[in-house]
Amino acid sequence: MTTTTTALIPDDVLPARAPSGARRRRMKSMYPSWFYIPAAALFLVFFAMPTFASFYFAFTRWSLFAHTFIGWANFVEFFQDPQLTTGFINTFIYGFVTSAAKVVLGLALAVLLTSPVLGRGYLRAVVFFPVLVSTIGVGLTFKALLDPFHGLINGVLKNVFGITGPGWLTDPHMALLTVAAVDVWKGVGIATLIFIAGIVAVPQEYFEAARVDGAGSWAIFRRITLPLSRPAMGTVIILSLIGGLRSFDLIYAMTQGGPGFSSDVIASVIYKQYQAGFFGLSTAGNVILFVVVTAIMIPVSRLLNGKGAEEE
């Protein structure tokens, strides 16, 4: 995952592009260029070199004691792995489901929490609270709550409503979506916060003018709030999509990719391969994950930022 995080640092920070940028900046910079050397050295040693090393090790069979160069074999292996097919599909389902749910719920909550409701500050804190809790803690807690026979949730369903609850995490068709739902519960606070900031930034005059013209609540939301919070929406989509595509901790804490492989995502497949000692293969997996996330995020980010910029 180091690869991915490092690689998401914007291009213009990479040293390869530095010369032209540095030359231009030197004119106005108040610092001599050697001021940048410590930061550049740290960056090279701890970020750039491991990133390039990982591109090399992705082409080797690597046991920590020795490595052999094997060309594209790791990538071929990775794409033939039946787990990976499931993992890929699951990653997309998970990424898009959580992202879409966070946008819809986040926007709804933000509209509610920017209107004059009772205990607004308290409610905002409540919505944001799950974001502050450790993901592993949330995962283990929900795993206990969702236990099909001894868990609180199915206990309530049975004793209060008389329904036999499903095996939330043990039914192969439900496990992934259950984890996604918990992810939304945990992450919707951030989305709400961003939407609140976006809505609050809309000048009050627009709302007043609309009301004078006789617009109802729906029209105000449809014609003013929604279009003007588009920059916020772009941020939420990008953040939650990246988070969803790379997600690992919650899934691992709740199901470890199970039952069987039914809730495995790319990140958990890579983790399992690393655990099994297939270091070259899992590095290749990380490179693939990096390429995939980048390939999705660059157009998405262009699209969203481009539209946002036009309207400003």
For the beta carbon of residue 68, count every other beta carbon within 10 angstroms: 11
Binding flag, residue 276, other proteins (CB under 8 A): yes
Q: Which of residues 181-210 bind other proteins (CB under 8 A)?
A: none
Please select the residue that binds other proteins; options are 18, 55, 75, 83, rule is CB under 8 A. Answer: 83
Q: Which of residues 278-307 bind other proteins (CB under 8 A)?
A: 278, 281
The region of 58-66, 192-200, 213-221, 244-252 touching other proteins under the rule CB under 8 A is 58-66
Please select the residue that binds other proteins; options are 21, 227, 277, 306, rule is CB under 8 A. Answer: 277
Instruction: Compute CA distances 102 → 11, 138, 189, whole Å.
Output: 28, 17, 9
Partnered with residue 69 across adjacent β-strands are: 60
- Contact between 195 and 107 (Cβ < 8 Å): yes
Binding flag, residue 139, other proteins (CB under 8 A): no
The region of 112-120, 204-212, 238-246, 259-267 touching other proteins under the rule CB under 8 A is 259-267
Q: Which is nearer to other proteins, 171 or 249 (CB)?
A: 171
Please select the residue that binds other proteins; options are 71, 82, 116, 119, rule is CB under 8 A. Answer: 82
H-helix segments, the chain: 2-7, 18-28, 37-43, 49-57, 73-80, 82-114, 120-132, 135-145, 152-161, 175-200, 204-212, 217-220, 226-228, 230-246, 249-254, 266-275, 279-311
Binding flag, residue 152, other proteins (CB under 8 A): no
Instruction: Compute CA distances 202 → 109, 144, 237, whole Å.
Output: 17, 43, 20
Please select the residue that binds other proteins; options are 1, 6, 75, 81, rule is CB under 8 A. Answer: 81
- DSSP letters for 105-153: HHHHHHHHHHS--TTHHHHHHHHHHHHHS-HHHHHHHHHHHT-TTT-HH
Binding flag, residue 29, other proteins (CB under 8 A): no
Count of residues binding other proteins (CB under 8 A)?
32
Binding flag, residue 63, other proteins (CB under 8 A): yes
Binding flag, residue 155, other proteins (CB under 8 A): no
Contacts to other proteins by CB under 8 A:
61, 63-65, 68, 77, 81-83, 147-150, 167, 169-172, 256-262, 272-273, 275-278, 281
